[in-house]
Amino acid sequence: MPHPRTWLALIGVAFVAGCSSTAPGASQAQPTATPAPQVGTPSGISSQAPEAVDVCALMPLGDIQARSPFTRPLVTANIPDSAGSPETCTYASAITDAGTSITLVVEGFPQPADAMGALQRHGQDYADQGTPPQAIAGLGDAAYGIPRPEEAGVWAAVGSRLISAVLKGEWQEGDVPDVALAAKFAAGAELLKLVIARLP
C-alpha cells in the first residue's frame, strides 16, 4: 500500500494538470497571419503594349494618295529598311531623288502615360532644335504639328499608342509648286484620324 506522502503527491499532480487544461467550450486565440505585400501591376491595369499594327495593310496606298497634298503621285508603299517593323510604312513618289513621301508610324506602349510621355519628349526635342510644336485640337488625346515646311509632321497620343504622319518634299524644289505647311498639317491630321478609326 503506498505511503500517505505518495498519495498526496499523486493528488497534487492531477490537480495541476486539470488546471492547465482548457475548459470545455472555451475559445483558443489563433495567430493572425500578416498578408504578403502585393507586387506587380495593379489589378485591371495591363502592362503589355498593344499588338503591333501592320501600317501598310491598315492604310493602303490608295487611301494615302487620295489624301495626299502633293502634286507628284505616291506610287509605292513599303516598310523602310531603317525601321524593320510593320509599325512604319512609307508611301513615296516615283522620283526618289526628290524625296516626296508620307511616312506613317503607329508605336505601342505599355500604358497611356508612356505614350503621352513619348509625345512630350518628341515635342521637347523639336523645341530644343528651334522648332517648337504647334498644338492641334481634336486629334487623339493630345496632338501637335512640327512646322517644318520641307518635312512637316503631325504627332498624336491615342490611348497607349503614339502615331505620326511625316510629309516630306515639294518645298522650294523648282519643278513643282510648293505645298504650304498648312496643307501638309491638314493632310497629316486627316490621315491620323483615319488611322485612329481603323486601329483594332
How is domain 55-198 classified at the architecture level of CATH? Answer: 3-Layer(aba) Sandwich (3.40)
The set of cell numbers assigned to 119 is 509625345
Asked whether the CA dihedral 136, 190, 88, 167 is positive or negative, the reply is negative
Check if the beta carbon of residue 113 is closer than 8 Å to that of residue 104.
Answer: no
pLDDT tens for each residue of the chain, 200 residues long: 444 444 333 333 333 344 344 444 444 444 444 343 333 344 445 568 888 999 999 999 999 999 999 999 999 999 988 777 899 999 999 876 668 999 999 999 999 999 999 999 999 999 999 999 999 999 999 999 999 989 999 999 999 999 999 999 999 888 889 999 999 999 999 999 999 999 98
Give strand pairing partners of 91.
77, 102
> Any idea where the domains of the chain sit in the sequence?
55-198
Please report, as a single letter, which amino acid is at residue 105: V
CA distance 192 to 69: 14
